[in-house]
Structure 1
Amino acid sequence: MSTGNNSATTVFVLVGLTQQSELLLPLFLLFLGIYTMTVLANSGMILLITVSPLLHTPMYYFLSSLSFVDLCYSTVITPKMLVNFLGKKNLILYSECMAQLFFFVIFVVAECYLLTAMAYDRYVAICRPLLYNVIMSSRLCLLLVLVSFILGLLSAIAHTSAMMKLSFCKSHIINHYFCDVLPLLNLSCSSTRLNELLVFIIAGLNTLVPTIAVIASYIFIFSNILHISSSEGRPKAFGTCSSHLVAVGIFFGSITFMYFKPPSSNTLEGEKVSSVFYTTVIPLLNPLIYSLRNKDVKKALGRFLVGR
């Protein structure tokens, strides 16, 4: 694979979140705390789902996969950011930068489709309850998770391969805190038309298709819920979807703000804030949303803590 003019030996400089020295230590402590809680929350969710028979259902299988993805893509970004808060030069090798981009794209795309699979799971649970165990078989669940990761892998290969063909001779200073696609394209002195087309196609498809699928699922779900005659049935049905809706809204909202806003509205600080939200905050929020709003998780956690 061609890597352009000496791109393989390039050392980039990450500007980071801020250059105000008085903010570096507070930000380091803040994001260290967020990352520590992210690791504990997602690892704990995976462990709890693994050891609790009560949670051995398709819904929680997808949730454990989501926790794994959140843990991974937070780990791809946050440790390097923490090191840069304490460092002076904040260097990152070209190979490390491409690896960070590669794995970030895998996990962020996989999360899009896992959230979509979870929407389909809720659709089957509410609209086809009698056939739920038949439709949501372990084979289908595994297939949906594998497809999510395969689509992430294909997207990462496409982005990273195109990026490695560029030459970076304008500047080696990345005005960001990690190697994202758009900040890297701004440094290239060769044509970026292919890369921009890939961003439009890959980011567009990987956002539009899941969004349409989620919206379609919830149209059927809400239509079905409105036909429930029981006054207790409706809140219970809405309750099973609320956590997922919150997670979907936060994730797709921040992704859309980052990659699909008009060029005239692009601001460096706005992009960084949006990036921080979906790279560090959302991986922490997801397990909290599902655990705090879910009676089964609370019940399983209680049994786990008392050793039953």
Structure 2
Amino acid sequence: MACFTALLVLVSVVPWSSRTHWLIRVWDFPRLQLTVVALLLLLASAYWLPLTAGSTWLLVAFQLAACAWHLWWIFPYTPLAARTVPRYKRKRDESKVCEHLRILTVNVLQPNRNAIELVRTINRERPDIIVAVETNDWWQQQLTDIEDDLPHVVRVPQNNLYGMMLYSVWPLENISVENVIEDNVPSIHVDVQMPGGRVVKLHCVHPAPPSPTENEKSKPRDRELLTIAKRAAKEHGPVVVTGDLNDVAWSPTTREFLQTSRLLDPRMGRGFFNTFHTQLPFLRWPLDHLFHSNHFLLVEMKRLPKFGSDHFPLLIELALKKE
């Protein structure tokens, strides 16, 4: 029991470091799982260890501290926490809203070949905008049929896991495709021309993660996210940032992103909506995100069924408030 508790304390303390190596930053991700581990160790200690021994209470103290520490990070994303984005209610808010914006964010997993199931999901959910990442030439061809309903397209197919495709019902203007920090890691930035004349600034991002197979350190990811955050902060109209951020909702970088950009996270107070990993139910966390300015109310947010990717699609419908 002491060994397990020591290991729990170690992986809880490691992320305190400001170092950006992936071996350190990876422990920002499984805070929900580590909370569960801490609770299980508490139960095991109470059941198997003598409660009269001082060593038992020392272990319990460390387990409680670890549990409380991880809960502090993830609590804002539980239904018990305050919601930062109000829910749209038709009777109350219909007169205050001018447009609805239905956005689907999805990491297709480049080697995945089950495009038919994704197209079925798209046809069923009828999004206004789709942001698809890890798209290459094969995926571009498979998604051609959806262009009948979403005719405004920005195509950046790549074979390095960082291709990106943007599909929209409405016209897109001021289109910019940038490698913000790293070469061949593109992001898409557009103005979405809404039917009523309003313009929504949309930033689509997919920075590379810190990992043994990608970047050794999280600096490129963090720099890209904070660069986009600074741009969003300078916008005066409606803004949406979405994509696979390769970072969890509760990480220090994501918290800094929200503070810098002054955007809102509709997950807060509603749930984790874990989008990764589809094949590992006990190791899931939220990697796909949508953040927006306070010009919107939340109509709907849901994780869609898996279709062969390691990510679940994320669908969010927003209601744009009148000026």
Structure with the bigger percentage of helix: 1
**TM-score with structure 2 setting the length:** 0.27
**TM-score with structure 1 setting the length:** 0.27
